[in-house]
Amino acid sequence: MLEILKTATEVLVGLVGLSILVFVHELGHLIAAKLLKLKVETFSLGYGKKLIGFKWGETTYQISWFPFGGFCKMQGEHLFAKAVEENLDKMPDDEEHYYNAPAWKRIIVSLAGPVANAILALLFITGLYLVGFNEYSSANRIVLASEFAAGQAAGPTYPANKAGLATGDLITAINGKEIRNFLEIRKAIVPHPKDELLLTVIRRNETLKLEITPELDTENSIGFIGIMEWKEPVIEKLGPKTEGLNPWLKQGDRIISLGGKPVEHVIAFLHMFKEKPSELPMVVERNGQQVTGSFAMSYYKKKTPLIDLEYKTGVYRSPSCSFFEAFSYGIEECGSIVSGIFKFFSLIPQKINLSRAVGGPIKTTVIIGLATGESVTKGFDYAVVQFIHYVAALSMTLGIMNLLPLPMLDGGYVILFAAEWIRRKSWRPRFLFRFQMIGIGIFAIILVFILFSDVSFLINLITGGSL
């Protein structure tokens, strides 16, 4: 029952996040139209039939039955349908008709939605840095993935091996920017496949400068170098399965050895179960004393070890900021998101897995909900921070994607209206109708692909696959 309630809450939170993105986008269109004296017929929070609402001026403001997302309907759209039906050469002479407004005004209204999404992202990130927030991560010490790779041949091909990195190294800077923890390493590596980076590394009190070029993970469309986080094997929380089989273990225990072999980090600890032992002798350190016991194990379908342990992570506080410093962090993060989107498009010819890289409303809802739900274990304030971070990143992405010059997207209408402005002549209603039909066709194809991606994502999630 609790699990069902948790899932329902995560879905609800995800829907709220998705709704914020769409609502702010449509709000941008509304504000621009009002400032330019263009009439808006309906502004709705949600879709479907009107639930409640009121009329202010010429605009009806309403909440619809499905209160997620929204739309902004310009006045005079019925006249456009009439012009198409009667095959008129131009729109009816009605000054209130949206398509009779000057082209430059329609361009601004079209751009206002993506701009609103960008402003939301900037405000959210600036606000986070201004207030301050905690991040949870292991330290900046690394483990080479090649040392625990399933195939021996895979190891030496990793960029980390080629660059000369070693297990136990501390990465203290990337391209001159200070690195405090593994989360910051991930943020610096993931967006930069094929880009050369300069690492500052400390190894046994010696400082090294190493050049490395992340490879492209075509399955996830991210950069990787073949390292994992060095997580100290200190038990933060025991799950019901492990605690039931090993009641002698306590929170705060530091695993010293397993099966007579020393345990330096969590990766090494988990690797010791590749032979699927049912029980191994274990030594832990508790309050300065060594405690010996027997660690019992169970396996899912006799293959995957069921170890529901959580390990202690460090807490890193964001730097204290003035408003202008927080604003600069916001600009920097938004810029990173934009550059990441363009990087993604440049990688498409390299046969990346688009079904994993691209997602629609289902995937967006699940990602926001899961990220927020999983963060609750570290405190409500951290869950709020994660929610805001994800909504900000997705808002920026939605804004940029809507600027693509495709029919039905804001970018497509900007190109259409700009061409009309240049030629100083309105498009025939029938041409606009065909433009919209082409857009609907393209959108339908994209929608099928996105739905396939979303369903595949859900199946992968339900069956225990990685995100």
Q: Do domains 134-231+313-317 and 235-310 have the same CATH topology?
A: yes
Instruction: Supply the mean pLDDT for the chain.
Output: 82
User: Which CATH code, of 1.10.760.10, 3.20.20.10, 3.40.190.10, 2.30.42.10, is assigned to 134-231+313-317?
Assistant: 2.30.42.10
Nearest to 225 by CA among 175, 268, 178, 188: 188
> Which residues are bridge partners to 208 per DSSP?
201
User: What's the pLDDT score for residue 459?
Assistant: 43
User: What's the pLDDT score for residue 398?
Assistant: 87
Residue with the two structure tokens 């309907």: 73
Percent of the chain at pLDDT above 90? 39
Residues 331-348 pLDDT 10s: 998 988 888 778 777 776
Residues 145-155 pLDDT 10s: 988 876 544 44
Residues 164-174 pLDDT 10s: 999 999 999 99
User: What's the pLDDT score for residue 130?
Assistant: 93
* Domain range 235-310, CATH architecture: Roll (2.30)
> What's the whole-model pTM score?
0.78
Q: Return the domain boundaries, the chain.
A: 2-133+391-462, 134-231+313-317, 235-310
